[in-house]
Amino acid sequence: MSVALNFKSHLSELFAQALREVAPDAAETEILIERPKLAAHGDYACNLAMQLAKLLRKPPRDIAKALIAALPESNVVEKLEIAGAGFINIFITTAAKQGVVRGVLQAGAGYGHVHIGAGRKVGVEFVSANPTGPLHVGHGRGAAVGDCLCNVLHAAGWIVTREFYYNDAGVQIDNLTLSVQLRCKGITPDDPAWPEAGYRGDYIADVAQAYLAKETVEADDQHVHACSDVNDAEAIRHFAVAYLRREQDLDLRAFGVNFDVFSLESALYTDGKVKEAVERLIASGHTYEQDDALWLRTTAFGDDKDRVMRKSDGTYTYFVPDVAYHLDKWRRGFTRVINEQGADHHSTITRVRAGLQALDAGIPQGWPDYVLHQMVAVLRNGQEVKISKRAGSYVTLRDLIDEVGCDATRYFLAARHPDSQLVFDIDLAKSKSNDNPVYYIQYAHARISAVLAQWGGDRQALLHADVSLLDSEYETALLQQLIDYPQVIENAATELAPHLIAFYLKDLAADFHSYYNASRFLVEDEAVKLARLALICAIAQVMRNGLALLGVGAPDKM
């Protein structure tokens, strides 16, 4: 990547070379290049001299002078100043900043990509809903955050595998089976015989009707045939799970989310992987029998109490297949795994990690990583919406997509830190106003498209525009925004925080709208015109790149 495309990385390399000369014994010291809060303090600042003071036993300002003297020459750096206790303030040349326009236009869709992943594998598991009904809004948030995170990691140089894990075993599947079976027999949720834990949504009637009609369901690589026997609970179970897996897959496709791998909890049992994991845990010496149950000594690995693995009735608690599943991921070569899940999974993290440590399989502590999202409240006319006729008791993801569109749904669900509560305001998401961030960003892109269409010239000519003419206050701010974009991707990937992309795009759109309202682009001066068009063309490219990471479209017309 050329220095014009990532100043921060370039400066880090310069200071790393200076560090090797000034303090070779401290060559591994982390070099922090930060943006100062005040423009008068330069474009970037480095506190390396202060970090080295204790080791070198010298005043930081003296070390700063030595670092500056040892810094290799660069046509990016205009000047360096020592400030305060020993900060090194760095000023970038105007020409280098202006050169970012050409860099964006040349890199196109690849602009902003960084290489911190270095081609390593990462497995990201997200959504992973129980196949017991349509995806709800919480699943939608997981889908948006997980998919955007995968896009960001890919842009940061990781080889990403998207994975969906179906909990198609256990009590909830038993409840689903019974609910469909009762519907097949003509019993409805209004009947006194309907079980309290039964599912009441209209979709249960749809599954029952399809089963009685002997439909064939294709779910991923499975073809499940209904036999219409209302007394065959096992056949109903297979059909209902396949039917709802297909429905969830259709919801996800409508949401622009695709997966590379689908894993089934039931397969962990039939393939013997749960049995093997339990046997390994017993052999490790970390289990014990008590009260007719098998326990795992998770307190040895940081848990607040030991956990039951096998209950007195012989069935396993839910974290046991999770341990087997993650052992399988490790064996598939994923030295890094990220699980994007709802905050209600928080309690499982410690025991799953403890189980993996107890296996003594070489899995590092703190593996896998987790990103947990909070619940979503949906508002319409200022009132919370809780019920969907289709689902019976919750708002579905498809409800939102149908009402406000895929773009707005994805943006709103991904645009806040996953750990924060989210209020999805349907009225705001549908509004065509500057208060709606999706509209605000897409409108900026459409405005640029309209200007370029009105110009009608050859966009290749913009590569040769005289960008030295971009020197207004608005243009300087926009150039800095373009310069910052690769760092935003790096931060989003490092912090597992795709919402940073949404924040960035909103700020970029705000700076563009201010520029648009204060400037003319199709002016008579040909050089000025081409320079301004080159800048807004680069802005549009970065908007497309960022919106693509969020899975949101960049329309040319609104």
State the average pLDDT over residues 374-401.
87
Q: What is the CA radius of gyration of the chain?
A: 28
Is CATH 1.10.3720.10 what the domain over 434-550 is classified as, yes or no? no
Residue 389 has pLDDT above 70, yes or no: no
pLDDT tens digits, 403-454: 999 999 999 999 999 999 999 999 999 999 999 999 999 999 999 999 999 9
Residue 339: band (very low, low, confident or very high) from pLDDT cuts 50, 70, 90 = very high
Q: 267: buried, middle or exposed (CB in 10 Å: 19+, 13-18, 0-12)?
A: middle
pLDDT tens digits, 166-185: 989 888 999 999 999 999 99
Cβ atoms of 481 and 97 within 8 Å: the answer is: no
Residue 538 has pLDDT above 60, yes or no: yes
Residue 5: band (very low, low, confident or very high) from pLDDT cuts 50, 70, 90 = low
Residue 221 has pLDDT above 90, yes or no: no
- Phi and psi at 465, nearest 5°, equal -65, 150
Within a 10 A sphere around the Cβ of 270, how many other Cβ atoms? 10
Question: CA-to-CA distance for 412 and 397, rounded, in angstroms?
Answer: 12
Looking at residue 4, its pLDDT comes to 46
- The mean of the pLDDT values for the chain is 94
The proportion of the chain whose per-residue pLDDT surpasses 70, expressed as a percent, equals 97
CATH 1.10.730.10 in the chain is located at 434-550
- Phi and psi at 261, nearest 5°, equal -135, 135
Q: How does DSSP assign 309-368, residue by residue?
A: EE-TTSPBPTHHHHHHHHHHHHHTT-S-EEEEEEGGGHHHHHHHHHHHHHTTSSPPTT-S
State the average pLDDT over residues 248-273.
95
State the average pLDDT over residues 530-541.
98
Hey, what are 426's tokens?
């349907």
Question: CA-to-CA distance for 163 and 121, rounded, in angstroms?
Answer: 13
Is CATH 3.40.50.150 what the domain over 3-92 is classified as, yes or no? no
Residue 500: band (very low, low, confident or very high) from pLDDT cuts 50, 70, 90 = very high
State the average pLDDT over residues 239-259.
95
Hey, what are 488's tokens?
């935003």
Residue 551: band (very low, low, confident or very high) from pLDDT cuts 50, 70, 90 = very high
Residue 393: band (very low, low, confident or very high) from pLDDT cuts 50, 70, 90 = confident
State the average pLDDT over residues 206-235.
87
Looking at residue 386, its pLDDT comes to 83
Coil, helix or strand at residue 393: coil
Question: Which residue is it, tokens 């990691």?
Answer: 153
Looking at residue 347, its pLDDT comes to 84
pLDDT tens digits, 12-66: 999 999 999 999 999 899 999 999 988 889 999 999 999 999 999 999 999 999 9
CATH 3.40.50.620 in the chain is located at 121-164+261-283+315-371
CATH 3.30.1360.70 in the chain is located at 3-92
State the average pLDDT over residues 357-372.
95
Domain at 121-164+261-283+315-371, CATH homologous superfamily:
HUPs (3.40.50.620)
Residues in the chain: 558
Residue 543 has pLDDT above 80, yes or no: yes
What is the 8-class DSSP label of residue 76? Answer: T
pLDDT tens digits, 100-155: 999 999 999 999 999 999 999 999 999 999 999 999 999 999 999 999 999 999 99
Does an H or E element contain 421, and which? none
Look at phi and psi of residue 181 and say left if phi exceeds 0, alpha if psi is from -120 to 50, else beta: alpha
